[in-house]
Structure 1
Amino acid sequence: MTPATPAPSTGRRRLHLAAALDRRSVYDAGEYLEAARLAERGALDFVTLDDSFARPGPDALSVLSRVAPATRRVGLVPTVTTTHTEPFHVQAAVATLDWVSGGRAGWRIEVSTTEGEARLFGRRPAAPADVLWREAGEVADVAARQWDSREDGAGIRDAATGRLDDRDRLHHVDFTGSAFSVRGPSTVPRPPQGHPVRLVDATARPARAVAARYADVALVRTAHPTEAAEVRAGLRASAAAHGRDPDGLRVLAALDVDLGAGEYAAAPGHGGGGPRPTPRGPLYRGGPVDLAELITAWHREGTIDGFHLAPVEPRRDLERLVNGTVSLLQHRGLFRTFYPGSTLRDHLDLARPANRYALARGAS
C-alpha cells in the first residue's frame, strides 16, 4: 500500500460521470477525438475506450495517445489487458499516456480468458478467471512500484558531470510474481499523477479483490440500486481490510444507455425508462430527462458515487447524454459546469499518492 496525502475536504459528495467511446470497426482517430471533445464540453470526469485480443479493432492506448494532445481536461482511460503482456511495458505505456496528456491518464485493467487469445501469442494456454485476476493484481501492484521507482526530480541531466539521474532517487523494485519478475527501475519518469488512475470492472467476483486492493475506480454493472449499494459497501469494507482508506475508492454504476425516441415502462421509482437487465448487462432505454432522474435518485440515496455510461448508438446517444442529461444535472447544481483541476485525480477528488521509496529513504 502506498501512503497518500489527505485529499482536501469538498463538503457535499460529488457526483462523478464518465462515458465510453467504443465504436465497432472504426479506425478513424477523428471520430474518437470528436467524441472525447464532446465529453469534455460536458465536464465528464473521464472517457474509456475498450480493447480486447478477442476481437479486431484499434489499440485503445494508442488511440487515446492521439486524443491526448487535442484535448485539455477530460480523463483518458484505455483498457490494457494484463494477460499475455509484459508488466514492464504496460506500466511504461500508461505512464507515457499520463505524461502526454498532462496528468489525465487512467488504466482499465482487464484479463484475457479465451483459448483463442492465448493462441495469438503461443506462450501459454488459457487459464481460469480467478488465476488471471490474481496475476492482474500482481501487475497492478508492480506497476505502482515501477511508477515510484523514479522519484520526483530523479532526472537531473547535469552537463558538468555527465550525470543524467540522481542514483539515490532510483530504485529497483525486485518484484517476483506468480508468472513474471520485474527488477526496475522504470524507464519513464514518475507520472504527473504519481500513479495514473487504475480502474477495474468489479462486477464479476474474481475481479473484486483486485478492485478493492488496487483500484481507484471500480465499476459495477447492475440494474438494481440495492445491489449496487451492497457491492459498493463490500468493496469499501474490503479496501479498509487491506489497509486502504475506503474514501479513496470511487464506485460507479455501469449502464448501457439508449437515448432514442422511444420511452419504455419505468423501473419503480425512477421515472420513465429505468434500467433493465439484459444478456449484455444493465440497459437504460428512455429519454435524457428520465436518465437524469435516475442518476439523481441513485446518487442522493448514497447508492453509488457516480455512473459510467456506454452509448448504444455512439454519436447520437453521447450527444443526447451531454446536451440533455448532463446539462440538466448541471442546471440543478448536481454536476459541475467546469473542471476545477487539471488531472484525472483532481476530477475524482483523489490525492496524489506519496512515493513509497521517498518515504522510506526519508525515514532512514
Structure 2
Amino acid sequence: MPFMSSACPPAAHRPLHIAAAVDQADACTAAPFVRLARLAERGGLDFVTLGDSFARRRPDALAVLSRVAPVTGRVGLVPTVTATHADPFQVQAAVATLDRVSHGRGGWAVDVSATEAALFGRRRAASRDALWREAGEVVDAARRLWDGGEDDAGTRAVATGRFLGRDEPRHVDFEGATFAVRGPSAVPRPPQGHPVVVVDATAGPAREMAARHADVALVRAASPEQAGAARDELRRSAAALGRDPAELRVFAALVVDLGGGEHAAQPGHGGGPLPTADGPLYRGGPVDLADLVAAWHAAGAADGFHLTPVEPLRDLERLVNATVALLQHRGLFRTFYPGATLREHLGLARPAHRYAAHTHAHAEEAR
C-alpha cells in the first residue's frame, strides 16, 4: 500500500515547492553562481541554497548571494550561516541586509560546527545538542533585534548614531546560555520581517530546533515513508511547542544525478533514491524524477523538495528544462511567481511585529 500521510490535505490544495543547491566547489567568483541562480529563477524555483563551512576554502556564501541579489528578481536566496562561531549581532545584520538588497527574497540556512575555532575567540566546541540549542538562541536573538525596529524605518545617521525617519528602534537585551546581545540592531527591520529560516532537520539534535524555529525543514529521506514520518513528527513537535504546524514547510532533500538523460532510473534505484554517505541519491532521467516528485507530494510525504545536483550546471539545466517543465505541464508546479518575496513563494505569512503593540501604546501615552 503506498504511503499517505494521515495529516495531509489533498495534493491539489498543497502547492508544490522546489529548491536547489547551487554549490560549485571550484568557483572563485560570483559569476558561476549568478548563472545558476538565474537558471533556477527561469524555472520558478522557490529558492536556491549555497553551502558554507569553516573547513573549506570558498567564497563566503552570504556575501556571494548578496552579489547575486541585484541581478535576479524573484528567486529566493538562502546562504548557509554557521551559528557556532559567528557573532550573533553581526549575523543578524548581514542576513537583514541580504533581505533588503534582494527586496524580501532572503533567508539563511542555519548550521552548526563541532570543529575547534580558536581564531574566533570562542570557547571549545560543545556537544551537538548544545550547539543546536545555541543555534536556536541565535535565531531567537536575531528575530528580537529585527522586531526592535519599525517597518520601513530609516537608516542610522553616522554622525549622531540616531535613526533618521520614523521612531527610533527598541533597545533589545538578549541573554543566551553562551552569549549576550545588546540592541538595537544596526539595520532597519527586514522587508520580510523575519528572513526565512531553513534547517537541515535530518539528525536528531537539529530536529527540535527546527520544530521550534525553522520556516523550512529539510529531511534527507530515501523513501516517501521516511520523509512522511519525519514531516509528521516535525509538525507534531511544532504544535507541542505552541506553533501553528501549517507554518512549517518540510522538504525532502535529495542528491540528483540526471546524467542518464531521458533513460529510466538506474537499476537498483527502483525509480527512487538510494542511501549514500552524502545523502539519498537519485540517479536517472528527469522524467522519472518528475514522477517521483509528483508521487511523493501527492502522498503527503513532503511539502517540497530540495535538490542538490551532482553536476551543477548540467543537472540544474535538466531539472529546469525537463523535470520542472513536465511538472508545470501537469499543472503541479507554478509557471510564474505569484508574489515578490520568499515568504510569498512559500505561502508563509509575514511575522507580526512582537513589539508593535507596546510601541504604539507608548506613543499614545506620550501624546
Q: Distance in 1 between matches of 2:114 and 2:155?
A: 43
CA–CA distance in structure 2, aligned partners of residues 216 and 52 of structure 1: 22
Within-5 A mapping of 1:311-326? 311-326=309-324
> C-alpha distance in 1, partners of 2:174/2:118?
27
Q: TM-score, normalised by structure 2?
A: 0.90
Matched residue type, 2:63: S
Q: What are the residue-to-residue correspondences of 1:258-277 with 2, within 5 Å?
A: 258-261=257-260, 263-265=265-267, 267=269, 272=271, 274-277=272-275
Counterpart-to-counterpart distance in 2, 1:154 and 1:67: 25
Which piece of structure 1 moves more, 124-133 or 327-336?
124-133
Q: Which 5+ residue runs of structure 1 have no aligned equivalent?
A: 1-9
Number of the residue aligned with 1:103: 104
Deviation sequence 1:272-307 (CA, Å, 0-9, x none): 4x1110111100000000000000000001111010
| Aligned partner letter, 1:12 | H
Q: For residue 250 of structure 2, what is the aligned residue in structure 1?
A: 251
2:8 is matched with none
> Matched residue of 2:355: which SS?
helix
Q: Residue 357 of structure 1 corresponds to which residue in structure 2?
A: 355
Give the aligned partner of residue 32 of structure 2.
31
Taking the aligned partners of 1:259 and 1:363, their CA distance within structure 2 comes to 57
The answer to whether the aligner puts 1:152 opposite 2:151 as a matched pair is yes
Letter in 2 for 1:176: E
Deviation of the 1:266 alpha carbon = 5.7
Task: Quote the RMSD (CA, aligned, Å).
Answer: 2.0
| Cα distance in 2 for residues equivalent to 1:324 and 1:33 | 21
Give the aligned residue type for 2:323.
Answer: T
1:359 is displaced (CA, Å) by 2.7
Q: How does 1:98-247 map to 2 (within 5 A)?
A: 98-115=99-116, 118-155=117-154, 164-165=163-164, 169-247=168-246
Structure 1: distance between partners of 2:165 and 2:62 = 30
The one-letter code sitting in structure 2 at the alignment partner of 1:183 is R
* Residues 1:124 and 1:289: Cα distance change in structure 2 (over 3 Å): same
Q: What does residue 336 of structure 2 align with?
A: 338
Change in Cα spacing, 1:330 to 1:179, as seen in structure 2 (3 Å) is: same
* Matched length: 346
Q: Using the TM superposition, give the Cα deviation of residue 44 of structure 1 relative to its aligned residue in structure 2, in angstroms.
A: 0.1
3-state SS in 2 of match to 1:256: strand
Structure 2: any 5+ residue segments left out of the alignment? 1-10, 363-367
Closer, same or farther: CA 196–296 of 1 in aligned 2, 3 Å = same
Identity of counterpart residues, as a percentage? 67
Aligned-pair CA distance for 1:362: 4.1
The residue aligned with 1:292 is 290
Q: Distance in 2 between matches of 1:284 and 1:70?
A: 31
User: Aligned AA for 1:224?
Assistant: S
Question: Residue 13 of structure 2: SS of its match in structure 1?
Answer: coil
In the TM superposition, residue 225 of structure 1 has moved relative to its aligned partner by 1.1
